[in-house]
Amino acid sequence: MEKAFTSFLLTSLLLHYVMASSAMTKTNITTDQLALFTLKSQIISDPFHFLDESWSFAMSVCHWVEVTCGSHHQRVKSLNLNFNSIEGQIPKVIGNLRELKLRGNNLIGSIPLSLSNASRLETLDISYNSLQGNIPEEISNLHNMKVLSIQDNQLTGIIPQEIENLVNLVELAMEKNHITGSVPISIFNISLLQILSAWENNLSGFLPREISSLIELEELRLAFNSFGGSLPMEIFNISGLRVIDLTNNNLSGSLPPNRGIDKPYFLL
């Protein structure tokens, strides 16, 4: 109990300090360092001891393991803790990060609403964990986001309409969750999107013809859902589309004529 209270107190103090520092006009590397210590305080198990042995105030944060700093401004820009078997929760404050990669761990809890304050974030990979709860609509505030990878968790609820605000998004991967409802038409306003992957969820409804607005789309993977109705032929107007996987839905229709066999279409 005493250890848990001490951890809670440390987290609260660090969170207060980091948020106060972030509100200042001038921020520095100390802000980033404290943000990462906040993350460390949320980890309850670090079997490989990456954080225990190298994350210390005794050395520059730019020399911490799995931390990358920008060469010009010497601010923390990337944290890569993929496949380190760490257990804990996603921190509420992540500082100046442009990339947060926590793939393939044992993270629990939900996606924190405060993550939407990380305005510089370009890549968020929290896939292959045990996260629960909804996809928060506040995540749409991350206008610099290019890669959002949340697949293979236990997420529920719907895809928020506000996701269209992620105007720089190139890859959206949310397969193997328990997401329900339809794919919002607003998602087809993300003109830079190249990969849309939401297979093996509980999605339903129709695939609208507006999908052809995704002119940069290369991969569309919506298999193992409950989509119905006819397949919109407008999909095939997307010149760069090379993968369409719509298997195990309730769609009707067929391939348009004169389609070569070089494209892996799966429409059953």
Provide the domain limits for residue 248: 109-266
User: Which amino acid, one-letter code, is at 236?
Assistant: F
Nearest 10 degrees: Cα torsion 101, 30, 92, 143: -60
Here the tokens at position 212 are 């052809």
Q: Which range, 23-32, 61-70, 179-188, is most confident?
A: 179-188
Residue 164 inside a domain? The answer is yes
Strand, helix or coil at 125? strand
Residue 206 inside a domain? The answer is yes
List, for residues 129-149, the tens digit of each pLDDT value: 999 999 999 999 999 999 999
Residue 68 inside a domain? The answer is no
H/E stretch holding 38 reads: helix 29-41
- pLDDT for 15: 44
Q: Are 246 and 211 in contact (CB under 8 A)?
A: no
Residue 28 inside a domain? The answer is no
Work out the average pLDDT over 188-193. Answer: 96
69 beta partners: 76
Q: Are 184 and 162 in contact (CB under 8 A)?
A: no
pTM for the whole structure: 0.85
Residues 6+ apart with CB under 8 A from 141: 116, 117, 119, 165
Residue 46 inside a domain? The answer is no
Residue 98 inside a domain? The answer is no
CATH (domain of 142): 3.80.10.10
Residue 249 inside a domain? The answer is yes
Residue 133 inside a domain? The answer is yes
Domain count, the chain: 1
